[in-house]
Every structure is written in structure tokens, then in C-alpha cells.
Structure 1
Amino acid sequence: MTSHHLPAGENHPGGPEGYTSLFDGTTLNGWYAVPRSYGTQWPGGPHVLETGSGFPADYQTHADAHPAKWTVEDGALVGRQDPPGSGYGGYLVSEEAYGDFELVLEAKPDWPADSGIMIRRRPDSWEGIQVLLDHRRSGSIGGYYGNGIGAFHAVPFALTARKDAEGNAVGLREDDPETSVEPFSSHKRDLLTRGADVTDFLSVWRWMDWNEFRIRCVGLLPRVTTWINGLLVAEIDMSTLDAPHYDPEAVAALLGPEGHIAFEVHDTDPRLGRDRWGPDAACRWRNVRVRRL
């Protein structure tokens, strides 16, 4: 696999007029919020909360009582834990469902803030394809996780913070396998049909600033491609994916030909704790627009 930059003139195929805004810059019209929840790891598989995750038995009761807080600030959607540091998260879900589409948006995550952009998501449960925005220790950005459809990590690299002499995070760097809390492996990269080199990614990522994501999703079992700031970061083909516990027929029956788009505020799980989502962290999205294909 090699890295691919978006060809000149292909930023918005068909022209900007082909896109519809999903966010008006002032309200949450067109979206609804749901608390963080889990389900089975794959169709017919074990429930996440019953697999030694370390979550309390009454997790969902607490999660329902502390959904993420979604606001509009300075023309951007903002997601936070509520109250800050509560440890519980949630999703902001599009009211409309989409089949084949191209989604363009800008994201600006704090550090650490483990977020994601879900596509083909079920309207009332956690299943779907997650485009990762794991802006935290040993995280991945632009790759994919199979929420409830195989629990696979299909990512081209792993990242962590570059720190100054005082220990403050000042940028991103490639994760060190010797100190990683979620080690990267070539197996994860092999699940992709194409993936960027980490050096190319680091050259385009804007630390603590706005970064443009472009996500194309095409097919019943879709081929999903992610560009970030014009760089093709990752692509996966769900029709040919070969991963443990991934059953394409069961996934196609579960997700169907279309699903919802959603933004994520992660919970603070027992393994990563506040390294996953800082007590005062937020993630922001703006210029959210979609074009049906």
C-alpha cells in the first residue's frame, strides 16, 4: 500500500453545488443526541460489557444519566462529556440516513479527545462503521473500527503525543510500540486496501487546529475512503474484508443499504482512563456537508 494525495481539482467532485449542508452553524436542527451505549461485538457475538471490559455492571444506567453535551459555539458543533470528567459520552446522530455518499467536514479535537465519525450507523444502537479520530495516546486517525460488526481495527499507523521539556503535548508523532497502550501491528494495516505512510500524515495534520476530512462510502458492503487535508489516509473494502468474526452477509443484513452519520464523544474506560478523554476536553466540527452518490 502506498500513500495517495488527492489529485488537483478533485476536492469536491461535481462542484460545491452538489453538496447539502448538514449543519446550519447556529442550531442542532437535523440532529439528535443519544447516550453512549454498547452492544455485541459482532452479530450474534458476546456483548462488550460482558467480555472483561472492566465497566461496572450498572454502566448503562450511569451512561443514560450522563449523555454527552452538544452545543453550538462560534459556528461549530461541540461535544463534551457532561458534566466534564463524568467519564460518560454519547453520539450526535443525523436525522436522515444515507446510502452512497461523500461527506466533507472539518474537525478540531482537543488533546486527549477520542472521537470518531460514524457512517452507516443504526439509528438507535451502536452498530456501524467508525472513521477513527482517536486524538489520544496510542490512537489512530482516518482508519476504521467495526462497531458491532467485527470489532476490527483497520488502521495504517498509530499515533501519540510529542511533548516538550515540561511534558506538555505539542504535536503528534508515531506511537512507540515499546510504550504503546494499544500496539499497532501490520495485521491492522493489512485490513486496508490502501493506507498512507505515517510521515506523510504527520506532514499534513494541523495540531490543535481545523483538519478537513473527506469520506466516501459506496456499496451495500461499502468501499470507504478517507482523505484528510487532501491526503488519502485509508481505504477499506467491506465486501472483501477478511477479519476474525467479520461475516459480510450478517453485516449487510444488519446495516442495510443506508445508515446515519454520527459524531462521538467517547467514555472514559477502565483501560485508558483520562488518557482517552481529558476532563475538560472537547471535539468540534464545522462545515459539515454531504453529497449523495
Structure 2
Amino acid sequence: MTNDEGFRPLFDGRTLAGWHAVPRLPVPRYPGGPGPDKDAEAYKKAAATSGKWTVEDGAIAGRQDPPGCGYGGYLVSDGLYGDFELEVEARPDWPADTGILVRASALGSQGFQILLDHRRSGNIGGLYGNGIGGFHGIAFTLDAVYDEQGKPVGLQPEDPAASIEPLTSDKPAILDYAASGEDFLSVWKWDDWNTFRIRVEGASPRITVHVNGLRVAELDAAALEHPSYDAAAVRELLGAKGRIAFEIHDNDPGMGDARWGPNAACRWRGIRIREL
């Protein structure tokens, strides 16, 4: 981690004080876009759970509730934050599709997401526009390495021909800076704690993501060009300050348990912030 000057903890290591859980509700893809059918059975099921968030061995653990139900949730900060540096350690199971949202709305599902898609065709450290345009700023995708017994034992670059989410040329073009998959894998620690440092600065923020000291991605939201992204509309939706949120993803029909395993969890600790 960086030096302690100016940082303060957002997690006391014992309780969820300062945080609250909300359902992972469908939202319009972009501000003002068509919304979900709130009478649909899937919407009602999503609204009925916020995931299961517990404190275990000094870390926050997030799971689907009940396990394998296929519906997720968010753990959302009570506080609102504008310009800041955030540090957090994460330890995801495989597969677990999660992420860290910044400048998020009270719903949790609207904001800039730093990806932690620890599953096939996933990316770690790139950015996604949750409910703010659906842009996908990534430069590599990943898959697991399996041993002879079929147990996942590490990460490797994904074969582009086998990807279920193709890495099209528009995705890395969104980023101002992107590390290669090989550079990322040189610092990532399998089945261990990995440190994210996220800097968020500006009305339409510039977001810089480091993982274990490696700069992985940088996005300038003021200059971002994407068919469904409108910087002014996003500023109006999210405001100058927003919440920090951790995600438990749903299991969609296309991926099922390959997106979030029935007993999978992601764990978070060392959560601290330095406001700028």
C-alpha cells in the first residue's frame, strides 16, 4: 500500500458500520433510457435479496443469498465521496464476477465500475459504465488455468477465439492507458490478497486504477466517446459526489454458474480513503 498520510479507514475490521446492502436492481443502460419492467418476475426476485454480507476474519465477505440463487446485490457506503484515492484489498473466489463502483448512485448499480470479473472472459482493473452508457474499457480478457483434476489453479490470457465476450477494438480504445494482460498477470496473486488503488478526480472524472502497484487502466470520462455515453447527462445523474459500492453479480442465462459459483464469495479488507 501507499504511505498512510491523509488516509482514513472506511471499514473497522469488525462490523459493517458505515455500509448498507441494497438489491442489484436492473436500471436503464444510460440516463433517460428505457427502464426495466418492475412487474416482471425477474425484477421482483432481484428486489427480494441484497446478497449476504458478513465480516469474517477481519474482512467483508459477499455472497449470493441464498447461495446459488442467481441474484446479487451491492454493499454501499453510507458516505458520499467526490475526488479521492481509495485503497482496498480483494480476494475473490473462482468464479466470482464482482467490482468496485465509484461515484455510484444510492441504487449502487449506477456509476463507474472498476472491474473484478474473476471468471472466464473476465477483466480485472478495466472500467465499465453501469447504468451510464454500458461502455466497456478493457484491454485483455482472462481465463483460469486448470490442473489435471480440473481444479482452477491460476489465471492466463484468454484465447480470443474462445471468448464469450469478444475483445473488440472499441474496448481498449476507450482507455487513455491500458496495461497488457501479460503485465497484469505478472503482478496478480492467485488465491491471495490483491491491492487496488483507485484515483477519482474531476466533475467527469479521470479514473486511474493500480493493481499491486501496476497501473492497469486510466479513463478520462470527460473525453470519453461512446454511442450511449453522455458526459453531461451522467454528471446530472450522479452528481459531484457518490457512493462507493462492492458488487455481487447476478447469474444471467448465458453464463449461469460460470459467472458466480453457487458457494462463491469475494472478500474485501483494508478499505481506506484519502479525499483530495
What is the match of residue 109 of structure 1? 92
What is the aligned-residue RMSD (CA, Å)?
1.5
What is the match of residue 226 of structure 2? 243
Check the 8 A contact 1:114/1:136 in 2, yes or no: yes
Query: Offset at 1:221?
Result: 0.1
Provide structure 1 residue ranges, at least 5 long, that are not aligned to the other structure: 1-10, 51-55
**1:96 aligned counterpart, secondary structure:** coil
Counterpart of 1:152 in structure 2: which amino acid? F
Provide structure 2 residue ranges, at least 5 long, that are not aligned to the other structure: none
What is the match of residue 29 of structure 1? 17
1:41 to 2:29 alignment: yes
Check the 8 A contact 2:76/2:108 in 1, yes or no: no
What does residue range 25-174 of structure 1 map to in structure 2 within 5 Å? 25-47=13-35, 49=36, 57-124=40-107, 126-174=109-157
**Matches of 1:281 and 1:154, distance apart in 2:** 26
TM superposition outliers: structure 1 runs of 4+ over 6 Å: none
**Matches of 2:84 and 2:17, distance apart in 1:** 20
Which of 242, 251, 273 is 1:268 aligned to? 251
Query: Offset at 1:38?
Result: 1.4
Check the 8 A contact 1:117/1:133 in 2, yes or no: yes
**1:42 aligned counterpart, secondary structure:** coil
The alignment covers a number of residue pairs equal to: 276
**2:121 aligned counterpart, secondary structure:** coil
Query: Offset at 1:171?
Result: 0.7
Check the 8 A contact 1:268/1:276 in 2, yes or no: yes
**Matches of 2:222 and 2:5, distance apart in 1:** 31
**1:235 aligned counterpart, secondary structure:** strand
Check the 8 A contact 2:174/2:225 in 1, yes or no: yes
TM-score normalized by the length of structure 1: 0.91
**Matches of 1:66 and 1:39, distance apart in 2:** 16
**Matches of 2:49 and 2:28, distance apart in 1:** 22
1:227 to 2:215 alignment: no
1:216 to 2:182 alignment: no
In structure 2, do the counterparts of structure 1 residues 18 and 125 end up closer, same or farther at CA, with 3 Å as the change threshold?
A: closer
Query: Offset at 1:160?
Result: 0.9
Counterpart of 2:110 in structure 1: which amino acid? E
Query: Offset at 1:125?
Result: 5.2
**Matches of 1:44 and 1:253, distance apart in 2:** 11
1:189 to 2:172 alignment: yes
1:205 to 2:193 alignment: no
1:188-242 CA distance string (max 9 Å, x none): 0010000101111101000011000000000000000000000000000000001
**Matches of 2:107 and 2:141, distance apart in 1:** 30
Counterpart of 2:14 in structure 1: which amino acid? T
**2:114 aligned counterpart, secondary structure:** strand
Check the 8 A contact 2:208/2:217 in 1, yes or no: yes
**Matches of 2:271 and 2:140, distance apart in 1:** 26
**Matches of 1:128 and 1:186, distance apart in 2:** 23
Q: Percent identity?
A: 57
Counterpart of 1:288 in structure 2: which amino acid? I
